[in-house]
């Protein structure tokens, strides 16, 4: 059984670290609301996280090398700037003064030195904590009862991003700590929030997380994003077509794009998916509207993105009608295939359709044309 299955209530705070970030438990609600007027997360955060590939097998060398890889592969230039340490980075117990202590066997240089290294690469460092007495892995303390102290510690280390989990919280009542649907309340506390249970590297898990996340589409907006969990692209459990579906749905859904594989050893195919600038541009579009089924969303500049998804194990002709995707009837549309990087010669009126392979998709950027065309 996944030891992190209790981690649905999870928020991520992109910390405007002026060295005085306030813990969410430490101030009254009125002041907490002001925290999110931080000018951060205006587009979904992009970066890398340790958990999906490494789980607890992390150390400062892995973090440094992964930061190096984001730069050397060109991913950092595309927007992947957060280097996020997940669970298992601290000693089992706090020190005599109640502070979290980086695990000496794996982070001997400390987190501040690691933050300095990452910042020196032009990147940002994220860290993990938990609203309970211990984290989901049970290997390190949570922040329950130590919220202010931990917030001050993270700020002093130069942390830019906090992933805040919800295991081992003592069954505190929802009215006190929020319920199991953080999309309904977490916009006052974080810049993104989990909408699903943990993902795993399989088609069924990935598609179901996309479906569950879509329910909360109305709650996403610049500064706060629905998070169906981190990317599994490149971890080996799905086909290349399935990973393209994964990345397409996350991009169109304005989900955080947090790479979950080993970026030090990317295949050409994986890098082509994660580095697709046209698909990334959909995710980072300033309009900030999350896709709804039939997996479509408006974009800036009067454009529309649509993902024609084939869930079937056989080829299917998938059709999107204009009235299903918010385009006025009889509008003539130019379609660009974002995975083939090609604008189609054919013009479309009232619908767009494609023959889609099994467990695959087509992702089109639709642009209305003047009537004269």
Report d(CA 228, CA 165) in Å as an integer: 14
- What are the distances in angstroms from CA 166 to CA 15, 201, 255? 19, 22, 20
160 is catalytic: no
Report d(CA 180, CA 200) in Å as an integer: 20
337 is catalytic: no
Report d(CA 195, CA 179) in Å as an integer: 12
Residue whose pair of structure tokens reads 């299903």 in the numeric block: 324
Which of these is catalytic: 87, 150, 165, 187? 165
Measured over the CA atoms of residue 244, residue 82, residue 7 and residue 37, the dihedral's sign is negative
Which of these is catalytic: 198, 201, 262, 285? 198
Strand positions, DSSP E, the chain: 11-14, 46-49, 82-84, 124-130, 161-165, 192-194, 225-227, 257-259, 296-299, 303-310, 316-321, 332-337, 342-349, 351-356, 360-368
Report d(CA 77, CA 72) in Å as an integer: 10
Report d(CA 92, CA 133) in Å as an integer: 12
Residues carrying an active site annotation? 165, 198
């Amino acid at each position: 059984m996944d030891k992190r299955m209790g981690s649905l209530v999870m928020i991520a705070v992109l910390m405007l670290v002026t060295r005085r970030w306030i813990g969410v438990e430490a101030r009254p609600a009125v002041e907490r609301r002001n925290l999110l007027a931080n000018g951060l997360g205006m587009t979904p955060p992009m970066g890398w996280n340790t958990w999906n590939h490494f789980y607890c097998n992390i150390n400062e060398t892995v973090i440094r090398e992964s930061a190096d890889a984001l730069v050397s592969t060109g991913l950092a230039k595309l927007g992947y700037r957060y280097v996020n340490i997940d669970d298992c980075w601290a000693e089992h117990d706090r020190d005599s003064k109640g502070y979290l202590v980086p695990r000496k066997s794996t982070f001997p240089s400390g987190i501040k030195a690691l933050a300095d290294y990452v910042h020196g690469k032009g990147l940002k460092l994220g860290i993990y904590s938990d609203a309970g007495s211990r984290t989901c892995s049970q290997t390190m303390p949570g922040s329950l009862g130590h919220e202010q102290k931990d917030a001050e510690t993270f700020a002093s280390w130069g942390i830019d991003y906090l992933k805040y989990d919800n295991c081992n919280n003592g069954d505190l009542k929802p009215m006190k700590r929020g319920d199991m649907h953080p999309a309904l309340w977490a916009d006052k506390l974080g810049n993104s929030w989990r909408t699903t249970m943990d993902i795993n590297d399989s088609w069924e898990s990935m598609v179901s997380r996309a479906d569950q996340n879509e329910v909360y589409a109305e709650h996403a907006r610049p500064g706060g994003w629905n998070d169906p969990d981190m990317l599994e692209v490149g971890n080996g459990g799905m086909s290349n077509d399935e990973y393209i579906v994964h990345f397409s749905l996350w991009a169109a859904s304005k989900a955080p794009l947090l790479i979950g594989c080993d970026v030090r050893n990317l295949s050409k195919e994986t890098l082509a998916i994660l580095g697709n600038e046209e698909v990334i541009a959909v995710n980072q579009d300033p309009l900030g509207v999350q896709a709804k089924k039939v997996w479509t969303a408006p974009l800036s500049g009067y454009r529309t993105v649509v993902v024609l998804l084939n869930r079937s194990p056989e080829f299917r002709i998938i059709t999107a009608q204009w009235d299903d995707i918010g385009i006025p009837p009889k509008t003539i549309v130019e379609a660009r295939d974002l995975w083939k990087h090609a604008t189609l010669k054919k013009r479309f009126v009232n619908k767009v359709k494609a023959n889609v392979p099994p467990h695959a998709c087509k992702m089109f950027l639709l642009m209305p044309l003047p009537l004269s065309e």
